[in-house]
Amino acid sequence: MENNQEILSADSLYHVYESKAEDGNVVALRGLHMSVKSGEAVAVVGPSGSGKSTLLKCLGGLMKPSAGSVSLTGRNMTRLTGAELVELRRKTVSFIFQEGNLLPNMSALDNVAQPLRHQGVSPREAKRRAGELLIDLGLESRMHGLPAMLSGGEQQRVAIARALITNPKLILADEPTGSLDPITSREVLALFKRLHEEENVSFLLVTHSSEVADFCDRALELRDGRFIAQHGEGFEVAELAESRELLIDEMGMVSLPPDILLEMGGPGRWVVDEVAERRLVLESAEDEVISVFDKSRRILSSDCPACKYEYDDTNVQSCPECGATRPLVKA
Ligand SMILES: Nc1ncnc2c1ncn2[C@@H]1O[C@H](COP(=O)(O)OP(=O)(O)OP(=O)(O)O)[C@@H](O)[C@H]1O
Ligand SMILES: [Mg+2]
């Protein structure tokens, strides 16, 4: 496949985890659009709970999104039958998850050889190739152990070997170096880099590590199930705030990261001061910016909204008469 062709794309991706429990449904993805070109390495960054793992599972066809579509090498996965989907995935993509990558009753070697067996490779040849890859990843002495007998970092490397053994065109990985020490992590990255540069393998990596992020061509920043920003080549995770580009989707929606919103002066009404091709200037409509951050513009109410008790000038936070919380009101 040529460069610049899309290997993976998602359109209006939504995912809701339905729950009967008290906390109700969780909307984990809120209308995401994204694509990965053939040979590109893309990082997904964002805080815990922002939807990174959910996104990866939907993109890899392991979970059906509640709405929206995902295409792998130009084929819409949401329209494929189970068997077609398995076949397309097997030929194209490999996964490395946060956990649960290995079959517990098989040795490390058999875990790595198994995807090749599914492709019809002979047991002897599959084991030979699996062994070579495990040696490459520094696991020569642990090959015959069951996953439960391996450390977290060793299991992670076996999972990486299992993902790489089929020469996938795309690797989806959730914190692939999460449980590795810095040296092992660097070795895994070197292997990724070689596959990326020499074999044009595409990557979509969830990461908190600046070294992993640095390996990627660009990064998408996820927060509360939305992409809020995109960061270009050579960015550092620690410097995300300075290298930001905001994403505006086809619907015209833009989500502002909280720190940018704070710097602008908070949510509220904004007047379009100037709009031109490739340029938009917003001006705050004076006094109508709701200050959610600047508490000094809000003061404690002088009376209780429930029982009308009149507070004196103290800073008590709840009503001594009825126990209601003392609200903040505009100064
Ligand atoms: N099986 C599930 N059932 C219900 N809610 C879920 C389920 N899995 C995830 N969630 C919720 O969906 C949201 C996104 O979760 P997700 O696992 O995608 O986050 P994440 O960005 O991968 O976080 P982390 O960095 O901690 O791995 C969270 O609010 C989470 O609580
Ligand atoms: Mg996760």
Name the token pair of 177. 């170096």
Lowest mean pLDDT among 10-24, 53-67, 249-263: 249-263
Question: What are the phi and psi torsion angles at 15 (to 5°)?
Answer: -140, 130
Q: Is the pLDDT of residue 188 over 90?
A: no
Q: Is the pLDDT of residue 224 over 90?
A: no
33 to 38, 46, 50, 62, 134: CA distances (angstroms) = 17, 16, 16, 18, 36
Ligand nearest to the CA of 28: 1
Q: Is 34 exposed, middle or buried (0-12, 13-18, 19+ CB in 10 A)?
A: buried
Q: What contacts 21, CB < 8 A, 6 or more positions away?
A: none
CB 14 within 8 A of CB 30: yes
Ligand 1 center–CA 174 separation, angstroms: 13
- Give the pLDDT score at 142: 93
By most ligand atoms within 8 Å of CB, the mutation choice from 23, 26, 63, 226 for ligand 1 is 26
Ligand 1 center–CA 273 separation, angstroms: 39
Q: Is the pLDDT of residue 328 over 90?
A: no
**pLDDT per residue as tens digits for the range 229-241:** 888 776 666 666 6
Query: Which band of pLDDT confidence, cut at 50, 70 and 90, is reported for residue 4?
Result: low
58 to 55, 172, 267: CA distances (angstroms) = 5, 11, 32
**Residue nearest ligand 1's atom 30 by CA:** 49
Ligand nearest to the CA of 59: 1
Closest CA to 225 of 59, 13, 25: 13
Lowest mean pLDDT among 127-141, 270-284, 313-327: 313-327
Ion ligand 2: protein residues whose beta carbon lies under 5 Å: 52-53
Domains, in order of start, for the chain: 6-246 (3.40.50.300), 258-289 (no CATH)
Q: Is the pLDDT of residue 265 over 70?
A: yes
Ligand 2 center–CA 77 separation, angstroms: 22
